[in-house]
Amino acid sequence: MSLTSKLVFGLVLSLTAGLSASLIAPAILSNVSTNNSFASSFAQAQTAQAQTPPTQTLSFSDVSADYWAHDYIEGLAKSNIISGFGDGTFRPNDPVTRAQFAAILRQAFLTSQPTTAQAFKDVPAGYWATGAIAAARSAGFLSGYPDNTFKPNDRILRVQALVSLANGLKYPAGNPQSLSSYKDADTVPAYARPSTAAAAQANLIVSYPAPDQISPNRSASRAEVAAFVYQALVKAGRANPIAVKPERRWQITPMTTIAAEVDRMSLSENGQRLAAITDFGQNIKIWNTQTGSLLRTVIPEEPDTVFNAVAISKDGTKIAAIKRILPTGALQLTVQTVEDGRVLLTKSLNLPPETSPLIVPGRLDVVFSPDGKQVMTQNRLSGSDGTISYNYNRLVFQDIATGEVTQGIVAWPPDRGNIEATSMSPDGSLVAILRRPASDSSYAATVTIFQRNNNGFDADYSGLITLPVDLSSSTNMTFTNSNLLNLTTFKSNQTVLDTWNPQTGEKVQSTTLPNEECLQQGDILPSPDGTSYFSSYPNLGACLGNIQTGEFQRNLDGLSVGIENGVFSGDGDSIAVAGDREIRIFTKVAP
C-alpha cells in the first residue's frame, strides 16, 4: 500500500560571499567516505542516463509498485535524472553524499549551467563529480565551507538538501507558520528555517513513514532525494503531480473464518494462502483464505513427530517446516509443494557431536528467501546432562534444490551470546539478529543487522549496524517492504515503535502507540508495509492500529477469548488472527 508522506528536502548552504541567499552552515556530520565501487557505479549511472531514450520506462528490482517512493523514482528515471546500478537495483535506503546530490541536481536543473565557479581544494579536476559540483556552485545550489572545501563524501542531511533546492531555485523566504503542522519543526536549525518554510510552501517536503515529521537532521536517502527533486519539478511545471492514493482501512468483520486450533502460521505475499501448524504440532494445513477451503494436510511420516516451525513461500506454492522426532530429539527440515505434496528437500539439522541428547529447542524458525529457492533456518538449543550446560545457535541458508548450506552461521560463537530471534528483509539482502549475552543475567541485548553477500556474513559478525534493546520488555522486530527495520518495545506502561535505516544506522521515526489495554505488555507486530500494527493480550482483545494516522481499531469483530496470535501477509493488506480454535482473516478495503 503506497503512502504519500511528507519529507524534507534540503541543501548545503551558500557560504560564498556575494550570494544573496548566503548562509554559514555548521559542519554537522563528520566525513563518511564513499567506497570507490559505489562512486564508480553512481558515475556510470549518470553517464548511462544520457544514453537512455527519454521515453523508456525504467524499473528496479528493489522498488516495488507499492513502494512509497515508486512514482517519484520512476518519474525521475523516465526523465533520465536518476538511474540505478548495474545489478538492476536502485538501493532506495542508501544515503546520498554531497557529490551524488550535486550530480542529481545537474541532471535535473543544470544541464546547460556553466562550470566556471571557483574550484574546491578537495575536489580535484579528475574527480567524477567535478563538473556537477562546479555547476551546482555556479547556480547557487551548493557551496563549500569557509576553508574552500566541499567534503564531497559527506552525507547530505535532509535539511541541507531542502535549503539547497530552495536557494538554487530562488524560492522567496517562506512563512514560518508553514512549518507549524510538523511535530519536529523546532528541530530545524535556525539558519535553515526560512528556506525550509519555502520548501514546505512549495510542497517539496515528503516524509515516510511519518508525514507529520520533517526529520531535518538525519541523512537523506536516495528515495527521499528522488521525492524532493520530483516535487521541485512539479513546482516548476516540468512534472505532473502525483495523485494521493486513498487510505485503505481494515475491515472489522473477517473476510473468512476457519475452524482450527493453531500454533504457528504463515501467509503468502498476497495473503491468499495460509499455512499453519495445527492440532498441537501433529500436522500442517494449508487453506485458501478467500474461500476457506482446505488445500492440503501434511502429516509427518515418522511416528512421535511434531512440527515446530512453518513457512509458506511468497507465491504460495511451497511450504517449509521444521519437525522434531520426539524419542531422539532430532530435528529435520522439509520443503514440499502445496499443489501435489511433492517433497523437494528433506534435510537433517544435525547437532554437533559434543551436545547432549537432552538438548531441547529454545527457538526454531524457518523462512523462504524472496525467490523461493532457499530457506533460512534458525535453531537455538539448550540443555544439560547434569554437569554441563549446552547452548547451540545456528542460522543458515540452504539451497532447496541441492540441500547445501549456501550461507550463514553454522555455529554462532558462544561469546556473541544467544540468538533470541531473527528477521529477513523482504528482498533477502539483510538479516537482523536479536541476541543476548549467554552469561549475562540482565536484560541487555542487541540487534545486529547483517548484509548478505556472496562471501557470507562478516567474519567478525560486526554487521552493518548494532542497536541496543531492552529485553525487560516485550520486544519485536520486523523489516518493512522498504528494508527499514521496525523495533517495538513495551516499557514503563508505554509501547514505542522505532524505525531504523540499516544503511545509515539512523532512527527514521519513533512512535508512541496508544495506551490501550490490548497493547499493555502485548506482543506488538508491525505490518510489512509499515502502516499498521497488531497486538493482543489474553481476554483483552486483538487490536489493529494505523501507525501514520494514529487511528485505532479495537477488538476487530468484537471476539476476544484467550490469547490471539496474528500474522500479516507480505504486502501488508491481510492479517490472519488465530485464537480459541478458529482463524479469522481480515483485509484492507478502499474507502
Tell me the per-residue pLDDT of 137-156, one tens digit each, with 9 for 90 and over: 999 999 889 999 999 999 99
Residue 334 lies in a domain: no
pLDDT at 556: 62
The alpha carbon of 293 is separated from its chain's Cα centroid by a whole number of angstroms, namely 33
Residue 363 lies in a domain: no
List pLDDT tens digits, range 459-515: 667 788 888 776 555 567 889 988 999 988 776 777 888 899 998 889 888 888 877
Which percentage of the chain shows pLDDT scores above 70?
A: 77
209 prior amide bond cis, ω within 30: yes
Average pLDDT of 441-446? 64
Cell of 179: 512549518
Please give the Cα distance from 458 to 436 (Å, whole number).
Answer: 19
Structural domain that includes position 226: 36-235
Residue bearing the bigger pLDDT, 507 or 440: 507
Please give the Cα distance from 7 to 224 (Å, whole number).
Answer: 7
pLDDT interval class at 11 (50, 70, 90):
very low
- For the entire predicted model, the pTM comes to 0.80
Residue 571 lies in a domain: no
Is 536 strand, coil or helix? strand
Sequence-ordered list of residues with C-beta below 8 angstroms from that of 330, at least 6 positions apart, any chain: 324, 348
When divided into structural domains, the chain yields a total of 1
Sequence-ordered list of residues with C-beta below 8 angstroms from that of 463, at least 6 positions apart, any chain: 433, 448, 449, 450, 451, 457
Residue 93 lies in a domain: yes
Please give the Cα distance from 565 to 584 (Å, whole number).
Answer: 10
Contact status, residue 483 vs residue 429, Cβ threshold 8 Å: yes
Residue 80 lies in a domain: yes
Work out the angle at residue 209's Cα, subtended by the Cα atoms of residues 240 and 423, and round it to the nearest 5 degrees.
125
Residue 330 lies in a domain: no
Beta strand 249-250 with 405-409 is: unpaired
Contact status, residue 367 vs residue 376, Cβ threshold 8 Å: yes
pLDDT at 22: 23
Residue 124 has pLDDT above 80, yes or no: yes
Average pLDDT of 8-25? 26
Please give the Cα distance from 456 to 472 (Å, whole number).
Answer: 32
DSSP state for residue 29 in the 8-state scheme: S
Average pLDDT, the chain: 81
pLDDT interval class at 295 (50, 70, 90):
very high
Calculate the alpha carbon distances from 298 to 307, 339, 529 in Å: 10, 12, 31
List pLDDT tens digits, range 395-414: 889 999 999 988 887 666 66
Cell of 346: 528433506
Average pLDDT of 359-369? 81
pLDDT interval class at 185 (50, 70, 90):
very high
Render 325-370 in DSSP notation, one character per residue. ETTTTEEEEEEEETTT--EEEEEE-PPPTTS-TT-EEEEEEEEE-T
pLDDT interval class at 41 (50, 70, 90):
very low
Least confident stretch, 260-269, 451-460, 577-586: 451-460
Residue 489 lies in a domain: no
Residue 34 has pLDDT above 80, yes or no: no
List pLDDT tens digits, range 199-257: 999 999 999 888 889 999 999 999 999 999 999 999 999 999 998 777 778 887 889 99
Rg of the chain over Cα atoms, rounded to whole angstroms, equals 26
Least confident stretch, 17-21, 443-447, 502-506, 562-566: 17-21
Q: Buried b vs exposed e over 261-281: b needs ≥16 C-beta within 10 Å?
A: ebbbbbbbbebbbbbbbbbeb
Q: Which amino acid is at 533?
A: Y
List pLDDT tens digits, range 303-345: 889 999 999 999 999 999 999 988 777 889 999 999 999 999 9
**Where do we find the cell 512563512?**
175
